[in-house]
């Protein structure tokens, strides 16, 4: 009898302890916000989930010194309910995590951002291609082509071996003279970390993030699985056999929770003591090219200057079965992460709208309107960049005249006489890098050297030639190339 009473008492105590812990966890998920703010963010989360037509969505917010909001919900048919599966594929948000590892190594004197890549790994690149060049996308190293991604099947054990995919390719331009977004550049940063630590990239990631007590963050290894992984979807179809992404671990191969991401983002607050000021400046300050032009990209992060006079750093990630956005307002000490388990199109606009719920931002509506305009521009130019990459590849293979998926029916093959100069101009991406000051209107407006006409045509006038692309229902098509005499 005594044994039975003792067992009952112990069971009751255990249940009480469990209930208290659960209560504490639930309270910490949404602490430091008013009830109205919590209700508004809950509603925003649900509506964004519906708008994104996703199976699962997560939002976390870090403000000042703590996580003030953390919720992951899943659509079970009748609506969204809370779930414990909160570790998403985050795509190119991986780049800022790899940048954090490199910055931490710089803090500890293991490397220098201004040092040549050749100091750590022997390449055919010029010595002025630095770690800073890699982190700011000014290296001239190409991005992977979409048809390449579709064919990837090889599994890699480390980042260095995956360099075989691009290391022997020519640069698109001389380092630090232009901007070209590239995941391969970040892959090279990961390989440099491996050389210095003498460890494979997954081990480096695990050690760094466990030190930060961010246990949800790691690279996705093809042979491992966590019960906390979100299922992956392509629109409304579950992906049963996702592609191996070991070839792009440093640039796009991480898994993480939004809670981990916002905690990581807090390391980049202006009052953060984790990184010294000179390294934070490498993140906050736009990169200056040798031409004197400044691009809105720091080391690892994109930069957006708001109409308030303040600034934001952020990154988006798009990958098979996932879309993610990480936004940090360093001066306001806010970090926001959003993730879903399918492709999506949210970005800094949604991040600012959530920040607007937490603290009032001066001229906040103007800032959000500007962010929406920039989002529209980025979406248009991203699709154009994809077509240019496909076109460049077709030119290299000499298959442009046969590829009706890339060109309009009215394209004239007589322009082939200047193929080499065309290829040179395409390699410098003349069509896609003037988006900062581009003003998009319904009727079309000419601004600088980029013309937007009736929502259909883009043309870029150099000395020669003129390129005209038309946006069809199935994507951008090359319409004509006018070689001026």
Q: What is the pLDDT of residues 169-218, one digit of tens each?
A: 999 999 999 999 999 999 999 999 999 999 999 999 999 999 999 999 99
Per-residue pLDDT tens for 299-317? 999 998 876 668 899 999 9
Give domain limits for the chain.
1-30, 89-362, 382-482
Q: Which residues, in sequence order, are CB contacts of 3 under 8 Å at separation 6+?
A: none
What are the backbone angles phi and psi of residue 214, rounded to the nearest 5°? Answer: -110, 85
Q: Which residues, in sequence order, are CB contacts of 250 under 8 Å at separation 6+?
A: 94, 95, 98, 159, 186, 187, 189, 190, 191, 193, 201
The encoded tokens of residue 165 equal 């995919």
Which residue has better confidence, 64 or 432? Answer: 64
What is the Cα–Cα distance from 391 to 395, expressed in whole angstroms?
6
Number of alpha carbons in the 13 Å side-chain half-sphere of residue 33: 29
Assigned CATH class of 89-362: alpha beta
- Compute CA 471 distance to the chain's CA centroid, rounded to the nearest angstrom: 25
Q: Is the pLDDT of residue 413 over 60?
A: no
pLDDT, average across residues 87-93: 97
| pTM of the complete model | 0.71
> What stretch of H or E contains 52?
helix 35-52
What DSSP line would sit under 75-141, residue for residue?
A: E-SSSEEE-S--BEE-GGGHHHHHHHHHHHHHHTTS--TTSBGGGTS--SS-TT-BHHHHHTT-S-P
What are the backbone angles phi and psi of residue 168, rounded to the nearest 5°? Answer: -95, 0
CA angle 272, 275, 280 (to 5 degrees): 90
Using the 8-state DSSP alphabet, how is residue 142 labeled?
A: P
Residue entry with tokens 């030190």: 211
Per-residue pLDDT tens for 92-129? 999 999 999 999 999 999 999 999 999 999 999 999 99
Question: Which one, of 166, 217, 472, lies nearest residue 324 by Cα?
Answer: 217
Percent of the chain with pLDDT over 90: 50
253 three-class SS: coil
Q: Are 323 and 342 in contact (CB under 8 A)?
A: yes
Number of alpha carbons in the 13 Å side-chain half-sphere of residue 90: 33
Least trusted range by pLDDT, from 22-36, 265-279, 442-456? 442-456
């Amino acid at each position: 009898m005594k044994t039975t009473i003792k067992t009952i008492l112990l069971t009751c105590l255990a249940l009480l302890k469990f209930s208290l812990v659960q209560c504490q966890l639930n309270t910490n998920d949404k602490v430091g916000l008013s009830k109205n703010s919590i209700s508004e963010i809950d509603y925003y989360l649900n509506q964004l989930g519906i708008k994104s037509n996703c199976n699962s969505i997560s939002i976390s917010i870090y403000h000042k010194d703590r996580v003030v909001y953390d919720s992951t919900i899943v659509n079970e048919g009748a609506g969204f309910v809370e779930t414990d599966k909160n570790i998403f594929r985050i795509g190119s948000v991986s780049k800022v995590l790899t940048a954090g590892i490199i910055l931490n190594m710089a803090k500890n004197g293991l490397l220098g951002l201004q040092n040549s890549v050749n100091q750590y790994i022997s390449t055919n690149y010029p010595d002025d291609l630095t770690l800073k060049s890699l982190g700011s996308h000014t290296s001239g190293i190409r991005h992977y082509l979409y048809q390449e991604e579709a064919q990837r099947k090889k599994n890699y054990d480390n980042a260095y071996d995956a360099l075989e995919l691009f290391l022997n390719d020519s640069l698109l331009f001389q380092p630090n003279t232009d901007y070209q977004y590239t995941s391969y550049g970040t892959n090279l940063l990961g390989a440099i970390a491996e050389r210095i630590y003498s460890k494979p990239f997954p081990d480096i990631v695990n050690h760094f993030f466990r030190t930060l007590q961010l246990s949800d963050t790691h690279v996705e290894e093809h042979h491992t699985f966590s019960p906390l992984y979100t299922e992956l979807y392509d629109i409304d179809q579950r992906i049963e056999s996702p592609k191996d992404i070991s070839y792009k671990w440093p640039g796009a191969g991480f898994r993480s929770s939004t809670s981990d991401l916002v905690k990581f983002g807090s390391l980049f607050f202006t009052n953060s003591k984790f990184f010294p000021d000179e390294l934070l400046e490498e993140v906050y300050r736009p990169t200056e090219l040798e031409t004197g032009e400044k691009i809105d990209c720091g080391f690892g992060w994109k930069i957006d200057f708001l109409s308030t006079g303040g600034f934001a750093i952020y990154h988006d990630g798009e990958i098979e079965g996932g879309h993610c956005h990480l936004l940090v307002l360093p001066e306001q000490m806010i970090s926001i992460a959003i993730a879903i388990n399918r492709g999506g199109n949210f970005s800094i606009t949604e991040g600012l709208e959530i920040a607007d719920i937490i603290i009032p931002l001066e001229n906040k509506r103007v800032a959000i309107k500007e962010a929406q305009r920039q989002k529209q521009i980025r979406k248009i130019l991203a699709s154009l960049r994809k077509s240019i990459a496909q076109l460049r590849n077709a030119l290299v293979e000499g298959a442009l005249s046969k590829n009706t998926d890339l060109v309009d029916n009215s394209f004239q093959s007589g322009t082939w006489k200047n193929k080499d100069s065309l290829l040179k101009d395409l390699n410098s991406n003349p069509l896609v890098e003037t988006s900062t000051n581009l003003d998009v209107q319904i009727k079309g407006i000419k601004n600088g050297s980029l013309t937007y006409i009736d929502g259909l045509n883009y043309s870029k006038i150099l000395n020669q030639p003129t390129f005209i692309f038309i946006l069809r229902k199935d994507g951008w098509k090359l319409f004509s190339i006018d070689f001026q005499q």
